[in-house]
Amino acid sequence: MDVRALETLRAVRTQGGVSAAATVLHLTPSAVSQQLAALTRDAGVPLTERIGRGLRLTPAGEALADAAVDVAVAVERARAACAVFLDRPEGTVRVSAFQSGARLLLPGLLTRVAALDGIDLECSDEDVAQDEFPALTDRVDVVVAHRPDGGAGWPGEGARLRVVPLLREPLDVAVPADHPLAGRGSVRPGDLVDEEWIAVRQGFPVARVLEAVAAAAGAPPRIAHRINDFSVVEALVAAGHGVSLVPRHTGGTHPGVRLVALAGVRAGRRVEALLRPDVAERLVVRRVLDELVAEAAEVSGPAPVR
Amino acid sequence: MDVRALETLRAVRTQGGVSAAATVLHLTPSAVSQQLAALTRDAGVPLTERIGRGLRLTPAGEALADAAVDVAVAVERARAACAVFLDRPEGTVRVSAFQSGARLLLPGLLTRVAALDGIDLECSDEDVAQDEFPALTDRVDVVVAHRPDGGAGWPGEGARLRVVPLLREPLDVAVPADHPLAGRGSVRPGDLVDEEWIAVRQGFPVARVLEAVAAAAGAPPRIAHRINDFSVVEALVAAGHGVSLVPRHTGGTHPGVRLVALAGVRAGRRVEALLRPDVAERLVVRRVLDELVAEAAEVSGPAPVR
DNA sequence: ACGTCCATGCAGTGACACTACAGGGACACG
DNA sequence: CGTGTCCCTGTAGTGTCACTGCATGGACGT
């Protein structure tokens, strides 16, 4: 039973197909298909079944993919067992974050890690829909993700995916500086029924929060634009093209925008680090993760995260 | 980090050298040496150090070998995860036992396993010293071993070695049928000070028990012969060449020999099954092990084993 | 009906792990 | 103190095997 093939099977599951798995594994689809065939022959039972033009894992395949995670964890533990005897942890860690999270955390993280000698950090920003965050763990080591506060957890959380909470960020209402509500200490959903909204794209993490706020006000929101980048959002808000929900620590940088706290409804997002369980065993990754947690605690203020 | 090399490292530890490890792995010493070199390069720290003309694992090597066990366990779990989806467990299991244990347990085990379709059993008998039992787990799947009752456990028991208790067997004194003590219900160590003894070879499992018995009598034992095979021992006893300690369920088959219970001193042996933790994950091995435990319970009588 | 996408099979090639053999150090013996 | 033996470690050679590239077939959408 080849460990490499097990890793491939795991990638096929999370990526949802042979071609996608081949991409993250830096292989051709043919190689992945052959590995699957060899693994199936070895296992004695079908591990995948064709579904349309793609394929899906059978129950046996799912079970084997679960076991593959444990194998990968054991292998990384072995590597970590040696790394303990090295004088200092070395290596490169790849971190990806969604835009606002990247702007909030990555600068501080980079300075922190620069102080630790021997650790290289490769950062990237990723703009993906809510349910695509877990699959990113195949491309990078640490994925800084976010999800609506109070929503469901991540699929596979625990066994397939390790989740480390970083911070909770309330969502405030961004209004133009000359807006009637700009001076208010807080607003309630009912105050906002007449506003035009600038929302994020469908399926992206905080999209549902606006719906919840509007539901509290009793009317569906009037969405004028769908913009993902909060700096663009603030520019539009400042120009009077609508109001928006923006994370408190991320927003408020534009001079023409005021943030007003939202009362009477629970609106916020959780920022969390996502890792594959095997990657979480690497010592360098743990060091970086520690710094990331510390940085998150600092930027979210002295108040406790949870 | 190659899983095969990790397995090799583990074998080098248990076998105590490159050549011995090469033998059990069905490789040449050169191949083992090269795998070790590659693994060391990968780990970044020395895993072995030369000691005389052999070699020994460094602390890092020990740690990595421990981790290698976990890797092997995870891989076998993966294989077992697939085997669950097969209609019935199949495969071959190799069992080895010391002579008297083999005579006691293997016939019944073979009939039991023959009733289970699809499982092949390969049996062998091994005559090794006490401290060589664990290393046998590299050659066969299940090692039926024995050790003096009350003695220390096996090295590496738990993490490196799985131990399954089978039965406890008291040691009786075998005397000729015409011996003055032959009719007695039990004898005490003091009754035996004048006897000549037939012992097992130095270092073999129950060698120390005789010393303990003699110590209770207050005089060192007079050992006339050292014979490992109990059927040979009984033949010598029947011919009047001395008395001996023999396991109760094993001995007493020779017509010219009587077994007398030993009172006033704790004399017995524990028969146990030894397995590598990864091998213990295989479903077929578990099935065979269940039958072995059941067989042991049957031959040791209705009394509880422990 | 056609184009696109995806998984799979087959031939070719390159890397890599093994065997065989030689070399060097360490212990035991005469 | 020399010699023999044992054991581990390098080097050259070879065979195996996994990957790439390309062609094929099926499925979905237009």
- On the 0-12 / 13-18 / 19+ scale of CB atoms within 10 A, A297 is middle
Say if strands B142-148 and B222-226 run parallel, antiparallel, or are unpaired.
Answer: unpaired
**The pLDDT of residue A306:** 43
In this prediction, residue A56 carries a pLDDT of 96
Question: Do you know the residue count of chain A?
Answer: 306
Bridge partners (DSSP) of residue A157 are: A161
For B182-218, give one letter per residue: b (16+ CB within 10 A) or e: eebeebebebbeebebbbbeeebbbbbbbeebbebbe
Average pLDDT over residues A164-169: 95
Give, for B85, the enclosing helix (H) or strand (E): none
Check if the beta carbon of residue A141 is closer than 8 Å to that of residue A95: yes
User: A30 Cβ partners below 8 Å, 6+ apart?
Assistant: none
Please judge whether B67 and A73 are an interchain contact, meaning their C-beta atoms are less than 8 angstroms apart: no
Q: Which helix (H) or strand (E) covers residue A188, if one does?
A: none
Residue pair B86/A44 in contact (Cβ under 8 Å)? The answer is yes
Radius of gyration for chain B, computed over Cα atoms and rounded to the nearest angstrom:
22
Written as tens digits, the pLDDT of chain B (306 aa) is 999 999 999 999 999 999 999 999 999 999 999 999 999 999 999 999 999 899 999 999 999 999 999 999 999 999 999 999 987 888 999 999 999 999 999 999 999 999 998 999 999 998 899 999 999 999 999 999 999 988 889 999 999 999 999 999 999 999 999 999 998 999 999 999 989 999 998 888 888 888 888 888 888 889 999 998 999 999 999 999 999 999 998 877 899 999 999 998 888 999 999 999 999 999 999 999 999 999 999 998 765 444
Between A7-16, A212-221, B105-114, the lowest mean confidence (pLDDT) is in A212-221
D chain positions with any atom within 7 Å of a protein CB: 6-11, 18-23, 25-28
How far: A22 CA to D11 C1' (Å)? 37
Q: How confident is the model at residue A206 (pLDDT cuts 50, 70, 90)?
A: confident
| Amino acid, single-letter form, for residue B120 | D
Q: How confident is the model at residue A303 (pLDDT cuts 50, 70, 90)?
A: low
User: Can you tell me which residue has the tokens 């079970």?
Assistant: A63
**Partner residue facing B78 (CB), from A45, A68, A86:** A68
Q: Return the pLDDT at A250.
A: 85
Question: Phi first, then psi: what are they for B200, rounded to 5°?
Answer: -85, 170
Burial of A152 (0-12, 13-18, 19+ CB in 10 A): exposed
Task: Please give the residue of chain A at the shortest CA–CA distance from B65.
Answer: A78
pLDDT at A252 over 70: yes
Q: Is the CB of B42 under 7 A from strand C?
A: no
Instruction: Pick out residues whose CB falls under 7 Å from strand D.
Output: A 2, 4, 26-28, 30-31, 34-35, 38, 50, 52-53; B 17-20, 29-30, 33-34, 36-37, 48, 50, 53-55
Q: Do B75 and A73 touch (CB under 8 A)?
A: no
Q: What is the DSSP string of B211-250?
A: HHHHHHHTS--EEEEE---HHHHHHHHHTTS-EEEEETTT
Confirm whether any atom of chain C, the nucleic acid strand, is less than 7 Å from CB of A37. yes
Q: Residue B74 and residue A70: Cβ atoms within 8 Å?
A: yes
Q: Residue B194 phi/psi, 5° resolution?
A: -90, -5
Cα gap B216→B265, rounded to integer Å: 7
Please tell me whether residue A123 adopts helix, strand or coil conformation: strand
Amino acid at A185: G
CA angle A163–A166–A172, rounded 5-degree value: 120
Say how far apart CA B66 and CA B68 lie, in whole Å: 5
Tokens of A148: 């609506």
pLDDT of residue B303: 55
For the A90-306 domain, the top CATH level (class) is alpha beta
Is B245 within 8 Å of B172 (Cβ atoms)? yes
Q: What nucleotides of chain C have any atom within 7 angstroms of a protein Cβ?
A: 5-10, 17-22, 24-27
Look up residue A17 and give its two tokens: 């197909």
The residue extents of the domains of chain A are 3-83, 90-306
Q: Which CATH number fits domain A3-83: 1.10.10.10, 3.40.50.300, 1.20.1250.20, 1.10.357.10?
A: 1.10.10.10
Can you say how many angstroms the Cα of residue A262 is from the centroid of all Cα atoms in its chain?
Answer: 24
Q: Which two tokens stand for residue A74?
A: 């054991």
For residue A267, pLDDT beyond 90: no
Q: Residue A27: which nucleotide is closest by CA–C1'?
A: D19
pLDDT score for A253: 83
* A304 CA – D17 C1', rounded, Å: 56
Q: What phi-psi label fits residue B198: left (phi over 0), alpha (psi between -120 and 50 degrees) or beta?
A: beta
Under 8 Å between Cβ of B70 and B278 = no
The pLDDT value recorded for residue B219 is 86
At A246, which amino acid appears?
V
Helical ranges in chain B per DSSP H: 3-15, 18-25, 29-43, 59-83, 99-115, 133-136, 207-217, 230-238, 283-299
pLDDT, one tens digit per residue, over A36-67 is 999 999 999 999 999 999 999 999 999 999 99
The reported pLDDT for the residue numbered B306 is: 43
Q: Which CATH number fits domain B91-306: 3.40.190.290, 1.10.10.60, 3.65.10.10, 3.40.50.1980?
A: 3.40.190.290
Find the chain A residues whose C-beta atoms sit closer than 8 A to any C-beta of B. 1, 3, 6, 43-45, 47, 59-60, 63-64, 66-68, 70-71, 73-75, 77-79, 81-86
Strand A243-247 relative to strand A142-148, pairing:
unpaired
Output the pLDDT for position B302: 62
For A96, residues 6+ apart whose C-beta sits below 8 A from its C-beta are A123, A124, A125, A126, A136, A139, A140, A142, A143, A144
| Residue A59 token pair | 């129950």
Question: Which DSSP category does B16 fall into?
Answer: T
At residue B304, the pLDDT reads 47
Q: Which two tokens stand for residue A106?
A: 């990555």
Instruction: Concatenate the DSSP letters of all residues of A153-169 into one string.
Output: --TTBTTTBEEEEEEEE
Residue B92 has a CB neighbour count (10 Å cut-off) of 12
